[in-house]
Structures are given as structure tokens and as C-alpha cells.
Amino acid sequence: MSFKSYDTWFKISILALGFYIIIKVMPIYFPIILAMILAFILNPLVNYITSIGFGVKKRHIGRGISVICAFLILILFLLLVGTFVLLPFIHEFDKFIVDLPNLISKIQNIAIKIQQRAQLLDLPANINTFIEQAITSAASFSADLAKRILQAVFGFASSIVELVVVPVLAYYFLKDWSILKDKIVSLFTVESRGKVRKIIEEMSLVISAYIRGQVIISIIIGIFVFSGMYLLGVDYPLVLGLLAACTESIPIIGPIIGSVPAIMLAYLISPTLAFKVIIFYILVQFLENQIVVPNIMGHTIDLHPVAIIISLLIGSQLWGIIGMMLAVPVAALLRVLIKQLWITNER
């Protein structure tokens, strides 16, 4: 076996080991991941505050003070959101949780009626069974998904440990990122430090652009859905808006998952309203794919749809819903590694 073959297998082993470590530590270090996400979101604001010059000599604020200022701006923003959005949402969410069993029961009754009508059409028995099971399963899955996602959001927010740990870690990530990066690079040999530094910088650019873009897109879609459901008269518009924002981070299937509960809630009012909701979600998807995503995300990830689907399947098996949300950025990081370790070397 040639030296090149040994080198290739060594790189594959390193990637496999890194992926295995990520799988093992993901549940334990979830607050660290959230802190890194928060740091990536606030980093442009911190850089902007640091670049501002004050006084005659245009002195700049230190990075530590800039980070504190960014957190104060974030807190002010959250207070405004909490005042005008969070309190009404909590009331609506509580009502949704109380009504959820009754809603599922109504949807199951509708499934039975659809099956009865299908029997009048003299369809094969297996098709009738499939129709009933598909509708019932979709109703139960979508309702359960909405409940679990929203409960996870509030469950995390109610944890004192995470509320303290996440911002503290984010502060140090923002303040000392250059120092941390140098420490990581220093662990490698002198010959490989340039390559390692380039990989870290490219990973940082990809993941920061993805996170900021995804947050902006999720907010836009959440506002779109809330406004549309409110104007159409569908129940729980705030819950549906937040669900759409959360599932938006799941590529390809996320918007579909987020739309199913809205369509079913609308159908409980009238089939005509359900049809209007379907048209609304199709329109939102069209605007998202043609205008919102190209202008905000561009070609940040640069992953083939097949790679995205495979990443989603792996992520869902490993970490469930959270895994599906993290699958694409993790795949993007692996793409950077493969590009730097193989493609660049071959050139």
C-alpha cells in the first residue's frame, strides 16, 4: 500500500473519529452549541460597535465592552418582544395545549368520515385503510410535533442553569475567539498550522452565515404565517407562526411539517378555509424559494439536495428533531473539511 493510500485512510479515520465524538457529546454539550449559535448571531453587531470611533481621536471601544453593549441591546430587544408578543403567545399556547386532545379527536372523526366516503366509491380495502391511517397519523404526528417543539422552547427557557451558562459562554466566545482559535491551531504541527487556520476560518464563515441567515428567514416566515393565519381567521395564529419559524430550520420537509397543523385546524372550521390555507402556504414557499432564501442565504451551504436529504435522515435517527435542525450545518462543516483535506491537496 502506497504512502498516499495510508494518508487517505488516516484522513478518513480522523473524520470518522470526529463525527463519533460529535454524536457522543451533542446531548451533553447542547448549551455550548447554543452559546456558539448566540455568539455567531451577535458577532456582526459586536464588530460594528468595536469599529465605531469616539471623540476627537476616534478611539475605539474594547471588544469586551462591545460584547456587553451587544448583550444589552439583545436584552432590550427581548424585553420589547416579551411585552408585545410573548405574553399573548403564552396565553394562546396554554389554550392550545388544553384543546389539543379535543382537536386530535375531531381530526380522527374527520378521517373516519373520509374513509366512509371512500368506501362509497368502492375503492379497494387496502386503499381505504391507507387513507384513514395516513390522515390519522399525520394529525397525531403534526400535533405532537408542535407540542414537543414548543414545550422544548419553554422547557429550555425555564432552566436556570442554561440561562446562566449560555450567555456566559457566548460572552467568552465573542471576546476571546481569536485567542481560542490560536490555542486550537497551536495544538498542531508547525507545517499544518496554516491549513488548520484556513479550515477554522472557512468553517466560521460558513456556519456564521448559515446561522444568521436561518434566523432571519425563520423570523420572516414566522411573521408571514402568523399574519396570514390571523387574517384568514385560523385558530392559534401565534402558535402556528412559531411552529413555522421553528420547522423552517429543517430543510425541504420543514415547511411541510409546519403547514399540516394549520391546514387541519382550518379544515375543522371549513374545507374552503383549508383550501385557502393551502394556497397561502404554497405562496409563502414560492416567495421563500424565489426571493427570501436567494437574497439572504445565497450559496452559503452549497450542498446537493441528495446530501441534504441524507444528512436529514442521519440527523433524525441520531438526535430526532434537534438532529434534523443541526444536520445541514454539520454536513456543511464536513464539506469544508473534505474540500480542504482532499480537493485542495489534489490540486
pLDDT for 2-40, tens place per residue?
A: 545 555 566 666 666 666 666 666 666 677 888 888 898
Q: Contact 295/271 with Cβ under 8 angstroms?
A: no
Amino acid at 302: D
What pLDDT score was predicted for residue 3? 47
The mean of the pLDDT values for the chain is: 78
Under 8 Å CB-to-CB from 274, ≥6 apart: which residues?
263, 264, 266, 267
The answer to whether residue 214 scores a pLDDT higher than 80 is: yes
What pLDDT score was predicted for residue 249? 82
Largest Cα–Cα separation, the chain? 86
What pLDDT score was predicted for residue 291? 85
- Grade residue 161 by pLDDT with cuts at 50, 70 and 90: low
- Round to whole Å and give the CA distance between 283 and 217: 15
**Among 72-86, 114-128, 237-251, which stretch is predicted with the lowest mean pLDDT?**
114-128
Q: Which of 6, 36, 11 is nearest to 340 (CA)?
A: 11
Domain ranges of the chain: 10-346
pTM of the model: 0.73
In the predicted model, what is the mean pLDDT of residues 203-218?
Answer: 86
Q: What is the pLDDT of residues 110-147, one digit of tens each?
A: 767 766 666 666 656 666 566 556 655 555 555 555 55
In the predicted model, what is the mean pLDDT of residues 290-300?
Answer: 77
Q: What is the pLDDT of residues 300-334, one digit of tens each?
A: 677 777 888 888 888 778 777 777 777 888 888 88
Q: Contact 194/340 with Cβ under 8 angstroms?
A: no
Q: Contact 315/326 with Cβ under 8 angstroms?
A: yes
